[in-house]
Amino acid sequence: LPSFLQILLLPLLLPQVTFTTQLSLTPLLTLPHHTSTAAAAAAAAAAAAAAAAAAAAAAAAAAAAAAAAAAAAAAAAEGAAAAAAATAAAAGAAAAADGAAAAAAAAAAAAAAAAAAAADGAAAAAAAAGSAAADGAAAAAAAAATAGSAATAAAAGGAAAAPAAATAAAAAAASATAATSSASPHHLSVHPPTHPHSLSRPTHRPSMGPKWHWVRRLLDKEVRLEIVKTHQQTADIFTKRLAEAGHWKGMKLAGMSVH
């Protein structure tokens, strides 16, 4: 038997050893040397009984050792089961941690994607608004340019119509003057010529006859000067307004220049 089992079973074996020793030594100490065969047989039977008792004690000790070994095996099995349970718990905790980390990563990725989509949408909206504003500004500028061109054309037409109106007024004045002179009685007085070569002109001319041509020329000159002056003033005013407004294109269309 192992040493620790011998130590455990020693208290159980001590009474048997003591009893066996007493049974073995008693005949030797008490009986004389001429002990009979029957006594020897009894002693042998007692020794056999003691040996049987010792064998029974050894069997009991072996059973106890087997029980102890079974208990140790059970304890080892329980320890192994506990270790396996602890390992499984650790694996479950690790799996839960991995799942939580994966869920957090997925949530972060979704949030980042949503933020990126929102930023793209805002940028697209801003770009569309800027483009619409630029288109509107361009359309407004084009409309303003068209209006400026129309105003320029109208002013040019007015400037061109002013000399025509002045010319018409001068023609009306000239026709009125001619009608007045034709209605005058002075041109009806005809005198005979004093010289045979002077048949084409009378001796006494009317008071308005020789001077009317110069008056008409002077009147025409003054009318022309007034027309030119009016036209120049109109052109200067129009040019000044165009220069202040900065419509160089309109000035080119009108055929003018700024000095």
**3 state SS for 116-180:** HHHHHHHHHHHHHHHHHHHHHHHHHHHHHHHHHHHHHHHHHHHHHHHHHHHHHHHHHHHHHHHHH
Amino acid residing at 232: Q
Per-residue pLDDT for the chain (259 aa), expressed as one digit of tens each? 666 676 777 767 665 555 455 445 455 445 444 456 878 888 888 888 888 888 889 989 899 999 999 999 999 999 999 999 999 999 999 999 999 999 999 999 999 999 988 888 888 888 888 888 878 777 777 777 777 777 677 666 666 666 666 777 777 777 777 666 555 444 444 444 444 444 444 454 445 555 666 666 666 777 777 777 887 888 888 778 777 766 555 555 556 554 4
pLDDT at 256: 55
**How much is the pLDDT for 194?**
47
Token code pair at residue 109: 């990725």
Q: What is the pTM of this model?
A: 0.29
- Give the helix ranges, DSSP H, for the chain: 3-30, 37-183, 209-245, 248-254
- 35 burial class (0-12, 13-18, 19+ CB within 10 angstroms)? middle
Q: What is the pLDDT of residue 83?
A: 92
Overall size of the chain counted in residues:
259
